[in-house]
Amino acid sequence: MAQRTNLQLSRKPILLIGFLFIAFLISGCTANVIDSNIEIPQRAWSYRNHISTPFEIKDNTKAYNIYFKLRHTADYKYSNIFILAHFKDGKNRVTKRYQYKLAKNDGEWLGSGSGNVFNYTLPMLTNHRFPKNGKFEIEIEQNMRDNPLLEVSDAGILVQEVE
């Protein structure tokens, strides 16, 4: 029995080192990612409910991909969505309008998901280089005719460093 206890004691440092190594790898891989996901109250996205994501760029020599994230239910009544994206860097603000196709012509949803909820990660800017290091913000608003836009459950922004 004494041998078994010694064997168990010698495994603890190895397991701890392995766990710390994996935690370090995971934190290193996610350091250059901003991933926001904001729940839309009552699945009714109004014009006034802007989705805002502040973030900081520490190395503007690198390129970044920026995505719009969307989640809706099967009861969403359109095959597309229009949004306005406001890109802010302190005093400067640039607004772009985007249209995304969410369903095929036959009505089949293009997003991934199971059951009644469909997820999308849609490109906004690819290989984008920020003009300087510092704090930035992306604000998204829905730009459809309906107000509120029903059956949208979540929206957000994903900013990833290009590898």
Q: What pTM, to 2 d.p., does this model score?
A: 0.79
What is the C-alpha separation between 159 and 55, in angstroms, rounded?
9
Same structural domain for residues 16 and 55? no
Domains of the chain: total:
2
* Contact status, residue 130 vs residue 90, Cβ threshold 8 Å: no
- Collapsing DSSP states into helix, strand and coil, what is residue 35? strand
Same structural domain for residues 69 and 17? no
pLDDT tens, position by position, 78-134: 999 999 999 999 889 999 999 999 999 999 999 998 789 999 999 999 999 999 999
Same structural domain for residues 6 and 39? no
Domain that holds residue 117: 34-161
CATH number at residue 81: 2.60.120
Same structural domain for residues 117 and 50? yes
